[in-house]
């Protein structure tokens, strides 16, 4: 069974020196071999201490897909969770080692993912640049699903991608962007991200969700945006 996209969370870029932030995601029944993907972006020297699904209930911990990508003081890291407990409007929560001037977060639900080895070995990759657009080439296979996540210090608009968007948001109040996308697996898949205007720091991470022998269901797509920031100028 091929990996299938099911639903997206909202997208947040939170300012005001938070140490954590959340997005809301529904894991509907009727799906099997489920996997959640979450990408966080942030500014500063802090590190992710946890990414959790439904902290008030199931309290299931995500696993890092791979090391974070750094470009100056801007960072991004992606995480996965297999077999999440189903539920409507549950929270994905990322927590950091200390407060950060700005944090971004976005998540998505996929089904048909191998539960024993959800991230196909050797596919995780990252790239950083000061030149847009920025590309990430992911090695994959048919029936897999490639995913990527983005951080920028963008000064203009929401980031865009040549793949199917999970969500992307630039918050001018805090000078940070976050994004995530997905595409059907193939021998190589190039995720290309862009943003209008001058961008000083870009970073992108990604990998391939390995297809299971079974699973799948009827997709239910949800995608909303929200912004949370202090009044005032940008970070930079």
DSSP state of 143: T
Per-residue confidence (pLDDT) for residue 220, from 0 to 100: 40
CB-based contact 152:159 (threshold 8 Å) = yes
With b meaning 16 or more CB within 10 Å and e meaning fewer, what string describes 172-204?
A: bbbbbbbbbbbbbbeeebebbbbbeeebebbbb
Q: Cβ contacts of residue 172 below 8 Å, gap of 6+?
A: 155, 234
Which residue, chain included where needed, has tokens 């920025």? 134
Per-residue confidence (pLDDT) for residue 222, from 0 to 100: 39
CB-based contact 7:108 (threshold 8 Å) = yes
Per-residue confidence (pLDDT) for residue 232, from 0 to 100: 38
Per-residue confidence (pLDDT) for residue 173, from 0 to 100: 86
Per-residue confidence (pLDDT) for residue 200, from 0 to 100: 83
Question: Shortest CA distance to 100 belongs to which of 43, 26, 171, 179?
Answer: 43
C-alpha 34/C-alpha 80 separation (Å) is 10
Per-residue confidence (pLDDT) for residue 172, from 0 to 100: 86
Q: Across the 236 residues of the chain, what is the mean pLDDT of every consecutive 10-residue run?
A: 96 95 97 97 96 98 95 96 98 98 97 97 93 94 97 83 97 92 97 86 96 58 38 38
- Say what the pTM is: 0.90
| Entry field: residues in the chain | 236
Q: Which structure tokens are listed for 171?
A: 């918050």
């Amino acid at each position: 069974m091929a990996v299938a996209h099911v639903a997206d969370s909202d997208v947040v870029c939170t300012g005001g020196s938070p140490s954590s932030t959340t997005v809301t995601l529904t894991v509907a029944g009727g799906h099997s071999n489920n996997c959640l993907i979450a990408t966080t972006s942030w500014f500063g020297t802090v590190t992710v201490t946890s990414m959790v699904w439904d902290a008030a209930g199931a309290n299931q911990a995500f696993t890092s897909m791979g090391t974070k990508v750094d470009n100056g003081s801007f960072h991004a890291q992606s995480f996965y969770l297999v077999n999440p407990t189903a539920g409507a409007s549950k929270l994905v929560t990322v927590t950091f080692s200390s407060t950060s001037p700005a944090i971004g977060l976005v998540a998505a639900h996929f089904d048909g993912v191998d539960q024993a080895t959800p991230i196909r070995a050797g596919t995780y990759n990252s790239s950083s640049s000061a030149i847009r657009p920025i590309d990430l080439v992911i090695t994959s296979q048919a029936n897999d699903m490639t995913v990527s996540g983005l951080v920028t210090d963008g000064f203009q608009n929401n980031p865009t991608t040549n793949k199917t968007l999970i969500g992307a948001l630039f918050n001018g109040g805090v000078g940070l962007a976050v994004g995530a996308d997905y595409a059907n697996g193939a021998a190589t898949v190039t995720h290309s991200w862009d943003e209008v205007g001058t961008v000083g720091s870009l970073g992108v991470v990604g990998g391939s969700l390995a297809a299971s022998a079974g699973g799948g269901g009827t997709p239910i797509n949800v995608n909303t945006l929200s912004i949370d920031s202090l009044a005032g100028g940008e970070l930079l």
